[in-house]
A and B are shown apart, each in its own frame.
Chain A
């Protein structure tokens, strides 16, 4: 018998390149007849729309000037935005006092930054009280009458800073409330549990607009006749209650994510209920709920625009008032709404990116 002879297989052709521009195009845009058609249609549509849009938005837009007369070119009239920029951001807050709004915004930024920058030991002791005090400090600064500054009544507050501050103030105060309601919902006490469930379901099931409406027409009836509560304060109360219900649900899913062993371990070393909840469970709940907390904040931030329905001068309401100003009747609605939409989009999108990145950092599972 002859020994088997070694015969190499014929050489294969080199694989079609998978890197570079042309293979990328082939794989991602032109992989099948259907994809080719879709790509052609989309590219044609983009070519038809995008140049005109960019032209209107940027190239032939009017960028400089003071009055409507400066808008001579065909494109968008951004002069409208720049002329009204102070009202858009600060409402009718008096000119000389705007530093107080800026100071409040800076304080908010500072408190948020400090909660990330402080060392872990100080964080709970400094940041938590700082957060809880912030809304009241801002109220004192903005109102001014209690700390010896010129009083600025709340009907003058407005603009984008109002959207930011009232959303932040609501979610901060909603934190402890939401936490209490979530604890109540999963407690063993039947009465406390049913009260919590009722609160949560009522405020989650009611349209926010109906709540604002109730805040403006019904809440005044609830207070004694000689007490008149400021409109913005009523709105704040409503927003806090609304947010508390949503935060309670966020915390509930956070509680569910904590392993049972954590509760049992805390019990076994003899911690009391509040020690167990605040020292062991709460920090872990905050950690796992962070993406959802951010999502809830995005929601309330968007919902602050609904305040225009009860004539609170938030950003969109200011724009709409500016549109009906007799010097600006040139139909700049699209510019105004695009600008508001853009500002909100920037804020909400960056927060949702932050939420996604936190979620990715927390997610250590190896699914798929």
Chain B
């Protein structure tokens, strides 16, 4: 019964062999391998010519290769550094300082752009006509103007501020002038450890109270005023410790000495302009993402929440925003990554982040373009992969808790 072959099978087996090549070529799998080997050969040739040209050019121009330059002394000063730095320090130190400055401005930018984005994204749904219009105007103006222009604009505005002697004075503690923003610095004396530990205890107990309150609400439905309790704990406990230990703190106020301010914390204008521009620009995109996310929550959810008698403010924070996070988080991820990439515009105003200081100043001195660009790009890839990793974890969590 099984031995009987269909006519097609017989035809297939008896197919003349001169069709072999053609049928081989007509098989999409074989053809795929042919195409791919062409691609492979092309890439081999491409990279071979690039590498050989580069080596030739470098030897002709007398550029060394390798990473030994990292140990030589930089010989220039860096405008701002989170680590102590001298001009005799190595290029590797410059590289580290650049990375730290990039991370600093990225974190500041991410925090403020998220705040701006969520405020204006939610404001779009306000019942107040003026608030809604302001949210729309903010988004449409700032996302449609090149960010590098915005950075240069804010830097110009900063440069129009008065000189140190006539600086804007906010209650003799905060000063703003053309050379930067001066803030008082909180200095802990001996015995301040008690206050710090009280703060840590307060934070831990807030978490515990919150867990307990959630459990109780799930069991009995009774709500607990978590916000007020946590505020009380976080301010109360350290205050108590402060009084017990006899206020072991003092402020280091900035004071005008000679031509400029000494003491306190100095924030250079480059950092402020860059942070403002990046926050406002990325904030506009985040506001747009938040708006899209909130709109993606079906109207039935809001109506259902109203029908069970939730207050308008609770509907937003308990029903709509948690569900919209599923749409917002992936967009936040890409906005944060583009913010990190956009920190490179610092080179237009001279804030010493990685790109400006390493791919700019160091490259100018050393000339080893390939190694330096490679190191710079690796760092940007690493930062962005970290952001992506964190946001994906966050996204998973929001998916589980909301479904």
- A93–chain B nearest beta-carbon distance, Å: 22
Please state if B146 and A39 are interface contacts (CB–CB under 8 Å). no
Which residues of chain A from 183 to 236 have a CB within 8 Å of any chain B CB? 187-192, 195, 205-210, 213-214, 217-218, 220-225
Please state if A218 and B369 are interface contacts (CB–CB under 8 Å). yes
Please state if B377 and A210 are interface contacts (CB–CB under 8 Å). yes
Q: Give the number of residue pairs across the A-B interface with Cβ within 8 Å.
A: 145
Known: A210-B377, A316-B148. A43 touches B130 (CB 8 A): yes
Whether B227 sits at the interface, judged by CB under 8 Å, is no
Known: A43-B130, A210-B380. A303 touches B373 (CB 8 A): no
Known: A192-B36, A195-B43. A341 touches B149 (CB 8 A): yes
Please state if A208 and B341 are interface contacts (CB–CB under 8 Å). yes
- A123–chain B nearest beta-carbon distance, Å: 30
Please state if B152 and A207 are interface contacts (CB–CB under 8 Å). no
Whether B58 sits at the interface, judged by CB under 8 Å, is yes
The docked-state distance in angstroms from the alpha carbon of A29 to that of B376 is 51
Please state if A341 and B130 are interface contacts (CB–CB under 8 Å). no
Which residues of chain A from 109 to 142 have a CB within 8 Å of any chain B CB? none
List 29 interface pairs A-B (beta carbons < 8 Å), by A numbering: A35-B127, A35-B128, A42-B131, A192-B39, A205-B380, A205-B381, A205-B384, A206-B380, A207-B380, A209-B344, A209-B355, A210-B376, A210-B380, A221-B54, A273-B28, A298-B144, A302-B147, A316-B146, A316-B149, A333-B156, A334-B153, A334-B156, A341-B146, A344-B146, A345-B144, A348-B144, A348-B145, A349-B144, A367-B298
Whether B12 sits at the interface, judged by CB under 8 Å, is no
Please state if A217 and B145 are interface contacts (CB–CB under 8 Å). no
B36 contact set on A, CB distance < 8 A: 189-192
B146 contact set on A, CB distance < 8 A: 302-303, 305-306, 316, 341, 344
B337 contact set on A, CB distance < 8 A: 205
A334 contact set on B, CB distance < 8 A: 153, 156-157
Enumerate chain A interface residues (CB-CB to B < 8 A). 27-29, 31, 35, 38-39, 42-43, 187-192, 195, 205-210, 213-214, 217-218, 220-225, 273, 298, 302-303, 305-306, 308-309, 316, 320, 333-334, 337, 340-341, 344-345, 348-349, 352, 367-368
The docked-state distance in angstroms from the alpha carbon of A337 to that of B50 is 40
A309 contact set on B, CB distance < 8 A: 148, 345, 347-348
Q: Name the residue on B nearest A227 (C-beta).
A: B53
The docked-state distance in angstroms from the alpha carbon of A43 to that of B28 is 69
Main secondary structure of the interface of A (DSSP, over half): helix
Which residues of chain B from 301 to 354 have a CB within 8 Å of any chain A CB? 337, 341-345, 347-348
A345 contact set on B, CB distance < 8 A: 141, 144-145
Enumerate chain B interface residues (CB-CB to A < 8 A). 28, 32-33, 35-36, 39-40, 43, 50, 53-54, 56-58, 60, 127-131, 134, 140-141, 144-150, 152-153, 156-157, 298-300, 337, 341-345, 347-348, 355, 359, 363, 369-370, 373, 376-377, 380-381, 384
Question: What are the nearest 10 A-B pairs in CB distance?
Answer: A348-B144, A28-B129, A207-B341, A209-B344, A305-B146, A302-B146, A207-B344, A191-B36, A189-B32, A368-B299
- A85–chain B nearest beta-carbon distance, Å: 18
A43 contact set on B, CB distance < 8 A: 130
Q: Name the residue on A nearest B381 (C-beta).
A: A205
A349 contact set on B, CB distance < 8 A: 140, 144
Q: Name the residue on A nearest B288 (C-beta).
A: A352
The docked-state distance in angstroms from the alpha carbon of A108 to that of B43 is 34
Partner among B57, B128, B153 whose Cβ is within 8 Å of the Cβ of A31: B128
The docked-state distance in angstroms from the alpha carbon of A358 to that of B141 is 21
The docked-state distance in angstroms from the alpha carbon of A191 to that of B380 is 26
A222 contact set on B, CB distance < 8 A: 50, 53-54
Known: A218-B373, A222-B53. A337 touches B152 (CB 8 A): yes
Please state if A308 and B355 are interface contacts (CB–CB under 8 Å). no
B53 contact set on A, CB distance < 8 A: 221-225
- B358–chain A nearest beta-carbon distance, Å: 11
Q: Name the residue on B nearest A353 (C-beta).
A: B140
- A279–chain B nearest beta-carbon distance, Å: 18
Known: A188-B32, A192-B36, A273-B28. A225 touches B148 (CB 8 A): no
The docked-state distance in angstroms from the alpha carbon of A222 to that of B49 is 8
B128 contact set on A, CB distance < 8 A: 28-29, 31, 35, 38-39
Partner among A38, A302, A305 whose Cβ is within 8 Å of the Cβ of B130: A38
Most buried by A among B144, B299, B337, B343: B144
